[in-house]
Amino acid sequence: MERSNMQAAQNARRLFVGGLPADITQEELTAFLNEAILTAGAGLDSSPALMSCRLQQDKNFAFVELRSAEEATNVMALDGVCLRGEIGVKIKRPSKYDSHTAMMLGPVSPDPTIDLRGLVMVKQAGARNWNTLYVGGLPMDWGEMQVLELLRSYGEVKYLKLMLEKDSGRSRGYAFCEYADDAGTDAALKQLNNYQIMNRFITVNRMME
């Protein structure tokens, strides 16, 4: 393969990941993306899909490389996935992406069977009520009823979704909830945030774009 074609093939496997927090590490970003890819079924198998991650920390973005052009295309469907429950990660093609070469390497649109229901997306979160909260740091052995009992201490809960591992069905340690009014939302933000349960500290943030 000519050098130019090799470079085009590599660009087809690469993605730009932007909107990152200043304190993120390559290890955290790699683990987050691999988990999101696995949850959505965007990889070709269950092993880690990322080959490399090059973080530009001073500019809050990174370039990642997937194992194949097909997986890179699939990961485009994750544009807007929430990092740390509130940060919408931007996933784009690199500026040197050559669509003509990419067409010879694999699909140029994500697999329609990719399932985003196990992830929280900024596009979805932006449409949520102002009283929708991210609640993290929950005990890993808690079920939905235990989480609901905790949240009801601060007001009427209209909506609760405890996030679960796709394969095992075990809790991922965080949930999204919506209170019926501002009073419940404000009480949870003020009183539950940084509250310690066993050896874990609860994190409560309002969902936002």
More confident site: 1 or 209: 1
**pLDDT confidence tier of residue 10, bands split at 50, 70 and 90:** confident
pLDDT of res. 3: 63
Task: Please give the structure tokens belonging to residue 89.
Answer: 């990660």
Same fold for the pair 3-117 and 128-206: yes
> Phi and psi for 199 in degrees, rounded to 5?
-105, 20
Task: Say if CB 51 and CB 65 are below 8 A apart.
Answer: yes
Cα separation values, 26 from 22, 31, 32, 122, Å: 11, 8, 10, 22
More confident site: 7 or 4: 7
Fold category of 3-117 in CATH = Alpha-Beta Plaits (3.30.70)
In angstroms, the CA 93 to CA 11 distance is: 8
In angstroms, the CA 159 to CA 161 distance is: 7
In angstroms, the CA 171 to CA 192 distance is: 19
Domain chopping of the chain, boundaries: 3-117, 128-206
Residue 65 CA, distance from chain mean position: 17
Average pLDDT for residues 150-167, to the nearest whole number? Answer: 86
Q: Which CATH superfamily is domain 128-206 in?
A: RRM (RNA recognition motif) domain (3.30.70.330)
Helix (H) and strand (E) counts for the chain? 7, 12
Give the pLDDT confidence of 161-183 residue by residue, as tens digits: 888 887 888 899 998 888 878 89
The DSSP annotation for 5-53 comes to: HHHHHHHHHEEEEE---TT--HHHHHHHHHHHHHHHT-SSSSS--EEEE
pLDDT > 90 fraction of the chain, expressed in percent and rounded: 47
Give the pLDDT confidence of 95-136 residue by residue, as tens digits: 888 766 667 777 767 887 888 888 887 654 444 456 678 899
